[in-house]
Amino acid sequence: MKKFFLLLMVLCFFGCKKYVVAFEQPTNNKLDNLKLEILLDKSKVQEINLKATNALPTYQTAELAISDEGKHLLQIKAKDTTFSYHINYPEEKFIMVTAHLKQNGKIHIGILKQAYQFTFH
């Protein structure tokens, strides 16, 4: 966890014009090797493969470039579903994305957006 926060701080200071997106690795083994496609303004920028863990969740970070306006559409494709989120910089420069498996077996992607770094207690 400490390494994650240090990485976020470094990214913030040196990459002030980027979104810092943290993808939580799930604790549910059914989500192991789930492929997420990351799209920014409808163009694919990255792919993430989630790795399930039996301990506390870990995080994989990514940096997404920002236009001059700072308003973007972040889309995350998981299997056959696309989740869309509007993001405004600098109000929402730290983003956390979490995948959950619902009781009906469908995947849900949750997002948390804020202007300051995440802290966990």
- What pTM, to 2 d.p., does this model score? 0.77
Q: How many CA atoms lie within 13 A of 70 on its CB side?
A: 11
Q: Look at residues 94, 109, 113 and name the one whose alpha carbon lies nearest to residue 9.
A: 94
pLDDT tens string 18-57: 788 889 999 888 999 999 999 989 999 999 999 988 888 7
Checking if the pLDDT of 121 tops 70, the result is no
Average confidence (pLDDT) over 76-83 = 92
Structure confidence at residue 86 (pLDDT) = 93
Structure confidence at residue 10 (pLDDT) = 53
Structure confidence at residue 115 (pLDDT) = 82
